[in-house]
Amino acid sequence: MTKTFLSAKNLYKSFDGRKAVDRVSFSIRTGEIFGLLGPNGAGKTTTIRILSTVLEADRGDVIIGGYSIRENPDAIRSLIGVCPQELALYEELSAVDNLVFFGRMVGLNGREAKAQAAARLKLVGLTGRAKGRVDKFSGGMKRRVNLAVSLMGHPKLLFMDEPTVGIDPQSRNNIYRTIEKLRDKGMTILYTTHYMEEANRLCDRVAIIDAGRIIAMDTPLALRSRIGPPEQVTLEDVFLKLTGRRLRD
Amino acid sequence: MIKPLLVALHEIRIYLRDRGDLAFSLLLPVVTFALMYGAFGGQDTFHSTAHVVNEDQGGAYSNLLLERLEEEDSLEVNLLSAREADSKLDRADLLLVLYIPHGFSDAVASSEQGQLVFKQRGNGGDEGQVVASIVRSAVDELAQEFQVHAQVSEALEGTGVGQEQINVTVEQLIKEERQELTVTVGEETLGGRTDPVEAFLPTIVTMYVLFAVTLTARVLVEERRRGTLERLLTTRIGVGQLFAGKLLAFCSRGFIQTLILLGLAYAVFQMFTPLSFIQSLVIALVFIAAASGIGLLISSVARTEDQATWIAVVFTMTMVILGGTFFEIPEGGVMSVLSKISFNTYANDALKAIINEGSSLADVGMQLAVLAGVALVALPLGRLLFKVLPGGR
């Protein structure tokens, strides 16, 4: 049986009295790609911010790689990489300078940071543009740099918050292939997305979250089977059935 | 220990990559200096222009008068046509013009009364009055010389001494007298030296450094806006290390700018000794650390870049005004008490003591201690507020 790498227990977080995350519990096994799906404002990003030690939960705890987030957040930071929803890059600098800087921040020495930066840029298909300024890059290239930065320091667990939003099919496909390569190497990934076909393709299991609560959690196949023959039902059908067709803010 | 250094180098790298920002920030001290030089030019005495219309073209005495005026250190002579001068007076471009009328030299030569005319708007302005006074003094001097000539000629009349010989001898004696004045006027300045550059340089330096508050105040907000702050918070850098790195970066940047400004003042005005130059840099560095610390404190509490900028601007203006940058704050009044809460006051006092009074760092120990105290309090306070405010850690 595969070992659990992340275990979230009864996470609760509110902002000005509004529940953002409400008793969320789930676990992710080592080497698993776990999808967190939900409409806008469902609590996906808040959950990732809690898991990545940026926000403190009002209640509940998270164990990652055997460390409690409340007791040893520094140890957890040494295990994780975060690919945020918004591009988090120094656009005045080159791609390689961004990677090297964040590499140094996760504890690599100068030589390691340069070597890893070269390897990560190769992985995302940007070797030829390593020294180009990020502000001159297309949206897709920036997304790929964003992903490459999150891989600096060999994280064991990667949080990917909607990494393919607003990019062209070629860059999206490159990111899919990168994620698949990471999975093949045994990396554990928590993945949030609005694109159901992407979750269906990449995720071993998915949890659907709405209004801060997990309302379903299973493999994509098992979820599709819940409402009909899986070959005729899409994950989007399941998603809309569970979360409703009401427009969200 | 290495992470703050890496953050500082990273910040400096961003600064160097932005060519516009780099050029502007390095040119700013040069421009400030040029303005200072243009405004004061190292002058601590009166200097002005005498605008003159000479209608007595070719006249010996009018030429002599113009030569005398040109010899005046404090005056420059600008010759105009009558039409040009009248037009400028009408438009109030000029407030006072000296007219040397046609026939002036002939009148003087024939011992009649030659008359000069000042045309002026109102009272001719303060500067015009000083110019008129200098002109009158030159005219009086010439008149006395003519009188001496006339009296000597009259006394020697019929003695067989030729007029030419009289003229040469009298002129020689007058020249000697002018070179070796029997009465001289000295100057004794109370309350220190009055060179305007020396008086203003300390306050310009401190005001300049204070602008760094505005830049530093934006730094964490900018990181927050572009998402890199949150990303950094998931790495192994501590928030304290991040603060220290930012402080180091802005201290370096402010120090380089101040070094340019003081270096130019040193080179052009020769107003430092090597020791006083180094001492001034030490004071500037401590003040820069205090200003950057305050900037980071503002950055910790501001939610947006605009908010950070406005808080910094209000803070800077308050400190500049209370610090006596634009005017001397009299001792004993309410303003004097209020000025004590401005850390500019301590920086200004320390720099003035070093630059103007030849004091040493030991003499300004109290001021340095206050500035260092501001830096030492602002940084941890900023860190604390960053921790307790929403979105911080």
Task: Supply the ipTM of this predicted assembly.
Answer: 0.90
- Residues A105, B14: C-beta atoms closer than 8 Å: no
Q: B132 and B216 in one domain?
A: no
- Does residue B281 have a pLDDT over 90? yes
C-beta separation of B318 from B345 below 8 A: no
Kindly state whether A215 is in contact with chain B, defined as any CB-CB distance less than 8 angstroms.
Answer: no
Query: Do the domain assignments include residue B348?
Result: yes
Determine the residue of chain B that is closest to A76 in CA distance.
Answer: B234
Q: B251 and B367 in one domain?
A: yes
- Residues A77, B227: C-beta atoms closer than 8 Å: no
Identify the pLDDT of residue B53: 94
- Residues B236, A101: C-beta atoms closer than 8 Å: no
Query: Do the domain assignments include residue B188?
Result: no
Q: Is A243 helix (H, G, I), strand (E, B) or coil?
A: helix
Q: A201 and A135 in one domain?
A: no
**Tokens coding B71:** 């010899």
DSSP state of A2: P
**Percent over 70 (pLDDT), chain A:** 97
**Exposed/middle/buried for B363, CB within 10 Å: 0-12, 13-18, 19+?**
middle
Q: A105 and A42 in one domain?
A: no
HSE (side-chain half, CA atoms, 13 Å) at B306 = 0
Q: B224 and B257 in one domain?
A: yes
CA distance B13 to B306: 24
Q: Which chain B residues are closer than 8 Å to A89 by Cβ? A: 226-228
**Which CATH number do you get for residue A212?**
3.40.50.300
Residue A70's pLDDT band, with cuts at 50, 70 and 90, is: very high
Q: B28 and B131 in one domain?
A: no
- Which among A137, A136, A138, A100 has a CA at the least distance from the CA of A119? A100
Query: Do the domain assignments include residue B287?
Result: yes
Higher pLDDT, B270 or B319: B319
- Residues B231, A74: C-beta atoms closer than 8 Å: no
- Condensed to tens digits (0 to 9), the pLDDT of residues B7-16 reads 999 999 988 8
Identify the pLDDT of residue B46: 73
Residue A74's pLDDT band, with cuts at 50, 70 and 90, is: very high
Query: Do the domain assignments include residue B253?
Result: yes
Residue A72's pLDDT band, with cuts at 50, 70 and 90, is: very high
Dihedral of CA atoms A169, A175, A177, A178 in degrees, nearest 10, equals 160
Q: B61 and B11 in one domain?
A: no
Q: B230 and B162 in one domain?
A: no
**Percent over 70 (pLDDT), chain B:** 93
- Condensed to tens digits (0 to 9), the pLDDT of residues B365-387 reads 999 999 999 999 999 998 888 87
- Residues A97, B13: C-beta atoms closer than 8 Å: yes
Q: Which chain A residues are closer than 8 Å to B226 by Cβ? A: 86-91
Q: A69 and A20 in one domain?
A: yes
Identify the pLDDT of residue B194: 56
- Condensed to tens digits (0 to 9), the pLDDT of residues A178-217 reads 999 999 999 999 999 888 888 999 999 999 998 899 999 9
Q: A60 and A171 in one domain?
A: yes
Average pLDDT over residues A234-242: 83
Q: B267 and B126 in one domain?
A: no
- Residues B235, A88: C-beta atoms closer than 8 Å: no
Between the alpha carbon of residue B191 and those of residues A52, A154, B41, the distances in Å are 63, 68, 22
Give how many domains chain A has, as a whole number.
2
Identify the pLDDT of residue B250: 92
- Which among A97, A46, A208 has a CA at the least distance from the CA of B16? A97
Average pLDDT over residues B337-349: 89
- Residues A87, B227: C-beta atoms closer than 8 Å: yes
The beta-carbon contacts of A219-227 under 8 Å, at least 24 apart in sequence, are A220/A35
Range of the domain at B264: 2-42+194-388
Average pLDDT over residues A14-35: 93
Q: Which of B179, B213, B244 is the endpoint of a domain?
A: B179
- Does residue A219 have a pLDDT over 60? yes
Mutation site for A-interface testing, chosen from B3, B219, B235 by largest number of A Cβ within 10 Å = B235
Q: B307 and B215 in one domain?
A: yes
Average pLDDT over residues B89-98: 90
Query: Do the domain assignments include residue B187?
Result: no
Q: Which chain A residues are closer than 8 Å to B234 by Cβ? A: 52-54, 77, 80-82
- Does residue B193 have a pLDDT over 80? no
Measure CA B351 to chain center.
15
- Kindly report the average pLDDT of chain B as a whole number: 85
Identify the pLDDT of residue A249: 62
Range of the domain at A101: 86-155
**Which CATH number do you get for residue A96?**
1.10.40
Q: A230 and A141 in one domain?
A: no
Give how many domains chain B has, as a whole number.
2
Q: Give the distance from residue A222's alpha carbon to the nearest chain B alpha carbon, in angstroms.
A: 34
Kindly state whether A44 is in contact with chain B, defined as any CB-CB distance less than 8 angstroms.
Answer: no
Query: Do the domain assignments include residue B393?
Result: no
Kindly state whether A106 is in contact with chain B, defined as any CB-CB distance less than 8 angstroms.
Answer: yes
Mutation site for A-interface testing, chosen from B10, B222, B231, B386 by largest number of A Cβ within 10 Å = B231
Average pLDDT over residues B324-348: 83
Q: Which of B179, B209, B238 is the endpoint of a domain?
A: B179
**Which CATH number do you get for residue B158?**
3.40.190.10
Other C-beta atoms within 10 Å of B319: how many?
A: 23
- Residues A86, B227: C-beta atoms closer than 8 Å: yes
pTM of the model: 0.74
- Which among B133, B106, B105 has a CA at the least distance from the CA of B118? B133
Q: A186 and A138 in one domain?
A: no
Q: A184 and A63 in one domain?
A: yes
Query: Do the domain assignments include residue B155?
Result: yes
3-state secondary structure chain B: CHHHHHHHHHHHHHHHHCHHHHHHHHHHHHHHHHHHHHHHCCCCCCCEEEEEEECCCCCHHHHHHHHHHHHCCCEEEEEECHHHHHHHHHCCCCCEEEEECCCHHHHHHCCCCCCCEEEECCCCHHHHHHHHHHHHHHHHHHHHHHHHHHHHHHHCCCCCCCHHHHHHHHHHHHHHHHHCCCCCCCCCCCCCCCCHHHHHHHHHHHHHHHHHHHHHHHHHHHHHHCCHHHHHHCCCCCHHHHHHHHHHHHHHHHHHHHHHHHHHHHHHHCCCCHHHHHHHHHHHHHHHHHHHHHHHHHHHHCCCHHHHHHHHHHHHHHHHHHCCCCCCCCCCCHHHHHHCCCHHHHHHHHHHHHHHHCCCHHHHHHHHHHHHHHHHHHHHHHHHHHHHCCCCC
Q: B372 and B233 in one domain?
A: yes
Residue A8's pLDDT band, with cuts at 50, 70 and 90, is: very high
Average pLDDT over residues B154-175: 82
Mutation site for A-interface testing, chosen from B10, B225, B234 by largest number of A Cβ within 10 Å = B234
CA distance A244 to A242: 6
Q: B250 and B169 in one domain?
A: no
Residues near B211 by beta carbon (within 8 Å), at least 6 away in sequence: B316
- Condensed to tens digits (0 to 9), the pLDDT of residues A27-57 reads 999 999 999 998 888 899 999 999 999 999 9
- Residues B236, A77: C-beta atoms closer than 8 Å: yes
Identify the pLDDT of residue A58: 94
